[in-house]
C-alpha cells in the first residue's frame, strides 16, 4: 500500500515537471543563428543555413566551393541559386538535419512539327563529382512523358563505373491514356536511380512517325517522387513545360561534407572538421561518400557553427519500489 502511494506521488511529480518543462520550452527560443555572424540567413523566402551562404565570405568554401550560393534579386522575392555558370538551378529549400537540398532543374524535351523536323529541344545533364550534391535514390525517379518513347539516363556511379537505365512509354492515341494514371508505361513511365550517381544526362530514343500529329513533344527528367501526375494534356504541345514545369522539376539532392569522413573514436579531428558546435555529433552520409553533422538529442540549431546547438532538455529518473 505504501509502495503504491509512493509510486502515485512519483508519477504526479514527473507529470508536473514534464508540464512545466513543456511550457518553458514553448516560452524559450531554442536554437541560435543559422548563418555566420554578419551574413544573411535568408534569400527571399528560403533560409540559407551554414555551411551554405550567400557569397564566398559567408559559406564554407574551404569544404566545397559549391556551398557558396547566389541570391538572384532580379526576382521578387529574390531566389537563391547554385553557383553553376552553365545552368540556372534554383534552390527551393535546404535541410541541415536530413542533409537535403531541393532544387528546380530544367526538363529535357524535344518537339516536332513534322515526322522529321524538330523545332524545340533542350538537353539536361550534370557532372556532380566535385560538388557536395548527389541525387537522392529514394526521393527521386527518372520520368519519361510521351508516346512511343524510350527515355534513357546515362552517367557514372562514383568516378569510374558507367551506368545506364531507362523506361519505355507507349500509347496509340491520347484517348488510350487517362489523367492520374500511374506512370507504368502508358503515356509516361518511371525508373529508379542508383545511389552515388556522380554524373548523369537524359536523352531519348523515340519513334515519332506515328504519334507526332497528336503528341509533338516528349519529356524526360529526374524529379521528386510524387511530384508528377500524368495528364493527357501533357502530350499536347508545350503545355507541360510552360505550365507545371515552367520553373523546372524539383529534384531532392543529398548533400554532405564529401571530402572526408567521421573521425575514428579517440582520434583527433582534422583542421577542417565541420561539426564544431558543442553538443553535436558526426554521422556518415547515407548516399556516400562523406558525413553530416547533427545536434545531440535535446539540442537544436546549427552544428556547423560554434555553439550552434542550443537548448538542453534534462531527463529525471525516479527509482521504483
Nearest Cα to Cα of residue 197 among 145, 248, 252, 247: 252
Same domain membership, residue 287 and residue 249: no
Same domain membership, residue 237 and residue 279: no
Q: How confident is the model at residue 116 (pLDDT cuts 50, 70, 90)?
A: confident
Q: Give the Cα separation of 24 and 27 in Å (integer).
A: 5
Domain boundary among 199, 229, 255: 255
Please give the pLDDT value at position 120: 73
DSSP state, residue 233: G
Same domain membership, residue 113 and residue 242: yes
Q: What is the pLDDT of residues 227-250, one digit of tens each?
A: 999 999 999 888 898 999 999 999
Total count of domains within the chain: 2
C-alpha dihedral, 264 to 269 to 271 to 274, nearest 10°:
80
Residue 16 to residues 4, 19, 199, 298, Cα–Cα distance (Å): 18, 5, 56, 19
For the full predicted model, state whether its pTM sits above 0.75.
yes
Q: How confident is the model at residue 3 (pLDDT cuts 50, 70, 90)?
A: very low
* Higher pLDDT, residue 118 or 317: 118
Q: Report whether pLDDT(18) > 50.
A: no
263 in Cβ contact with 273 (< 8 Å): yes
| Rounded mean pLDDT, 21-44 | 69
Q: What is the pLDDT of the chain when averaged over all its residues?
A: 86
139 upstream amide cis, omega within 30 of 0? no
Please give the pLDDT value at position 113: 82
Strand, helix or coil at 234? Answer: helix
Q: Give the Cα separation of 22 and 167 in Å (integer).
A: 51
Q: How confident is the model at residue 29 (pLDDT cuts 50, 70, 90)?
A: very low
Q: Quickly count: other Cβ atoms within 10 Å of residue 31's Cβ.
A: 14
Q: Which domain holds residue 11?
A: 1-30+273-321
Same domain membership, residue 243 and residue 185: yes
Same domain membership, residue 225 and residue 131: yes
Domain boundary among 255, 289, 307: 255
Same domain membership, residue 107 and residue 225: yes
Strand, helix or coil at 20? Answer: helix
Q: Give the Cα separation of 51 and 96 in Å (integer).
A: 9
| Rounded mean pLDDT, 142-171 | 92
Q: Report whether pLDDT(32) > 70.
A: no
* Higher pLDDT, residue 6 or 313: 313
| Rounded mean pLDDT, 151-155 | 93
Q: How confident is the model at residue 80 (pLDDT cuts 50, 70, 90)?
A: very high
Please give the pLDDT value at position 112: 85
Q: What is the pLDDT of residues 87-104, one digit of tens each?
A: 789 999 999 999 999 999
Domain annotation covers residue 58: no
| Rounded mean pLDDT, 142-157 | 93
51 upstream amide cis, omega within 30 of 0? yes
Angle at 289 between CA 284 and CA 290, to 5 degrees: 50
Percent of the chain with pLDDT over 70: 86
Please give the pLDDT value at position 118: 76
Strand partners, 133: 255
Amino acid at each position: 500500500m505504501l509502495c503504491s502511494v509512493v509510486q502515485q506521488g512519483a508519477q504526479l511529480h514527473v507529470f508536473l515537471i514534464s508540464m512545466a518543462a513543456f511550457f518553458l520550452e514553448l516560452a524559450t527560443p531554442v536554437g541560435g543563428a543559422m548563418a555566420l555572424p554578419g551574413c544573411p540567413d535568408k534569400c527571399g523566402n528560403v533560409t540559407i543555413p551554414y555551411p551554405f551562404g550567400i557569397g564566398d565570405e559567408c559559406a564554407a568554401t574551404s569544404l566545397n566551393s559549391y556551398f557558396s550560393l547566389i541570391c538572384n534579386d532580379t526576382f521578387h522575392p529574390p531566389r537563391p541559386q547554385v553557383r553553376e555558370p552553365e545552368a540556372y538551378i534554383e534552390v527551393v529549400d535546404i535541410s541541415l538535419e536530413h542533409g537535403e537540398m531541393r532544387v528546380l532543374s530544367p526538363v529535357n524535351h524535344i518537339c516536332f512539327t513534322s515526322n522529321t523536323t524538330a523545332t524545340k529541344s533542350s538537353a539536361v545533364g550534370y557532372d556532380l563529382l566535385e560538388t557536395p550534391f548527389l541525387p537522392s535514390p529514394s526521393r527521386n525517379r527518372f520520368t519519361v512523358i510521351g508516346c512511343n518513347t524510350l527515355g534513357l539516363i546515362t552517367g557514372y556511379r562514383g568516378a569510374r563505373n558507367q551506368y545506364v537505365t531507362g523506361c519505355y512509354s507507349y500509347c496509340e492515341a491520347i484517348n488510350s491514356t487517362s489523367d492520374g494514371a500511374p506512370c507504368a508505361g502508358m503515356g509516361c513511365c518511371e525508373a529508379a536511380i542508383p545511389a552515388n550517381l556522380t554524373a548523369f544526362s537524359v536523352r531519348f530514343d523515340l519513334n515519332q512517325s506515328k504519334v507526332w500529329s497528336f503528341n509533338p513533344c516528349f519529356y524526360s527528367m529526374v524529379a521528386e517522387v510524387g511530384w508528377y501526375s500524368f495528364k493527357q494534356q501533357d502530350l499536347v504541345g508545350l503545355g507541360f513545360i510552360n505550365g507545371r514545369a515552367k520553373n523546372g522539376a524539383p529534384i531532392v539532392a543529398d548533400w554532405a561534407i564529401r571530402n572526408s569522413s567521421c573521425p575514428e573514436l579517440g582520434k583527433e579531428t582534422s583542421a577542417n572538421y565541420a561539426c564544431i558546435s558543442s553538443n553535436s555529433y558526426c554521422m556518415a552520409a547515407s548516399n556516400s561518400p562523406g558525413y553530416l553533422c547533427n545536434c545531440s538529442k535535446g539540442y537544436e540549431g546549427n552544428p556547423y557553427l560554434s555553439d550552434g546547438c542550443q537548448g538542453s532538455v534534462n531527463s529525471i529518473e525516479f527509482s521504483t519500489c
